[in-house]
Amino acid sequence: MKLVLFQGGGSKPSYGVLNSDNVVPFDALTGESPQDQLQQLIEHFDALRERLDRPAIPLSEVRLLPPVPWPGKIVVTTATYGGAPAQAQLLATLKSAESVIGPGDTVRLPAVDQSWQFVPQAMLGLVIRGPAKDVPAAGWQRAVFGYTCIIDVMARGDQQFGRDYWLAKADTLGPLGPCIVTVDELPDPMALHVRSRQNGAAAQDYAIADASHS
């Protein structure tokens, strides 16, 4: 299933299933906040997916919000792809929850006093069931609820792994969505292909299987 967080007609944000041109709301979500609703979905997904009796809402009548609106933790790892030399060591950084924005929202670059270049990098995001710690490589998919798209807007300048990492944590520099695709629909994420466009032009085009440290 493709799960979305949506809002329309002055209603509160709610989760539903995205079809080609409409959204079917879930019936039995009782959480007051989107975070509570998402946790309820993760914990009781098999039961909730059978209760989709509400009328479909045309996609044109709703606004899609980031499907994980307030992540407890966003871990971004480095990866190389497209024939670039593989990195000798995996590097990881944290992004703040305030960096998350949804489909159609505006990335607002932070004010800087130097010549910094901000580079959007499209990645496959894993939505973890949580809590997850010391997950073995052989069974990592058991910790995953679904997959989403994330763009990590990184800063590039003279200083590497210093102020550039701090700037990358700024508000709006983590576009996410539009949906969470549940694991039952994507049994082999390594077969996926990532493509992105920037200002209307092709930007990235790579296979997940070709990315090192992915």
Residue intervals in the chain for CATH 3.90.850.10: 74-210
Dist. CA 79–CA 90, nearest whole Å? 8
Nearest to 176 by CA among 100, 108, 124: 100
pLDDT tens per residue, range 30-59: 888 999 999 999 999 999 998 888 999 999
Dist. CA 111–CA 122, nearest whole Å? 23
pLDDT tens per residue, range 143-174: 999 999 999 998 877 655 555 667 778 999 99
What pLDDT sits at residue 128? 96
Dist. CA 98–CA 72, nearest whole Å? 11
Q: What is the DSSP string of 81-110?
A: -TTPPPPSS--EEEE-GGGEE-TTPPP-PP
Instruction: Say if residue 130's pLDDT is above 90.
Output: no
What pLDDT sits at residue 81? 63
What pLDDT sits at residue 163? 58
Alpha-carbon separation of residue 193 from 67, 72, 124, 140, 209 (angstroms): 21, 27, 9, 20, 8
pLDDT tens per residue, range 57-109: 999 999 999 999 999 999 988 766 655 556 667 778 889 999 999 999 999 99
Instruction: Say if residue 185's pLDDT is above 50.
Output: yes
**No. of helices (H) and no. of strands (E), the chain:** 3, 14
Q: Rounded to two decimals, what is the model's pTM?
A: 0.91
What pLDDT sits at residue 80? 62
Longest dimension (CA), the chain: 56
Q: Under CATH, which number does the domain 74-210 receive? A: 3.90.850.10
Instruction: Say if residue 27's pLDDT is above 70.
Output: yes
**Non-local CB neighbours of 18 within 8 Å, separated by 6+ positions:** 2, 3, 4, 59, 178, 179
